[in-house]
Amino acid sequence: QVQLVESGGGLVQPGGSLRLSCSTSINSFSSYDMAWFRQAPGKQRELVAYVTSGGTTITVDSLKGRFTISRDNAKPAVYLQMNGLKPEDTAVYYCNTLGGRFDWGQGTQVTVSS
């Protein structure tokens, strides 16, 4: 059974930074496009960024310049560097394949507040 384990969240002040990590037991991890998603209270889960199997990174337009995704196929793991955090970034953050193929993990809570 594939496990997705997110970590690195926490409480941060506006303007601060966090680096999220996602460790996984996905076989053939390097062949998957991997992504970060987030779900704020009362809202649907939304895509934040993804990295293709070839290493191309895409961040959704509204988060460009602040959020950067990366991957390490050797571990295997996927990361999300978040800078310039805003209160509206408060959410539970999840990783999965871009298509959400595997069971969702518990996510990691990010709270941006002064």
Amino acid 107 reads G
pLDDT band at 1 (very low <50, low <70, confident <90, very high): confident
Per-residue pLDDT tens digits for 29-67: 999 999 999 999 999 999 999 999 999 999 999 999 999
Percent of the chain with pLDDT over 90: 95
The answer to whether residues 30 and 73 touch, using CB atoms and an 8 Å cutoff, is yes
Per-residue pLDDT tens digits for 2-17: 899 999 999 999 999 9
Q: Which residue has the tokens 């959020």?
A: 67
Question: Nearest CA to 69 among 43, 49, 92?
Answer: 49
